A = this chain, B = another copy of it.
């Protein structure tokens, strides 16, 4: 299974378990999380890039992969993604670099799916 498919499969399987076993509060948090990225005054692509810059400086590989995937689906170009990477890099510092490496590998996997 590709890194892309593995990521999606583990995410889907565990989200299902979380929603089945968690409390009402857990489910409410997941609903709130989803709704926050719906288009409003800012369009969906911009919101995904905002989630991406936040995830990069907090250095969460799975969150970075998720927002890259969503941003790509919302039409983000490579140039827009790299400018977002640059902001995360300058705000978050060199500690972001290992996550940038994995982000670049994941973006390649996203684009390869066509």
Contact = CB atoms under 8 A, between A and B. Distances in A.
A94 B63 contact: yes
A61 to B, nearest CB: 8
B105 A14 contact: yes
A98 B62 contact: yes
Contacts of A74: none
Given A14-B104, A79-B40, A80-B42, A58 B90 contact: no
A49 B79 CA distance: 17
A106 B105 CA distance: 23
Contacts of A14: 101-102, 104-105
A86 B86 CA distance: 19
- Give the one of A17, A21, A87 with max B CB within 10 A: A87
Interface string A21-64: 11101101100110111001110001101110111111111110
A26 B85 contact: yes
Given A58-B57, A104-B21, A87 B36 contact: yes
| Nearest 7 Cβ contacts at the A-B interface | A93-B93, A62-B98, A14-B101, A41-B79, A50-B53, A54-B91, A54-B57
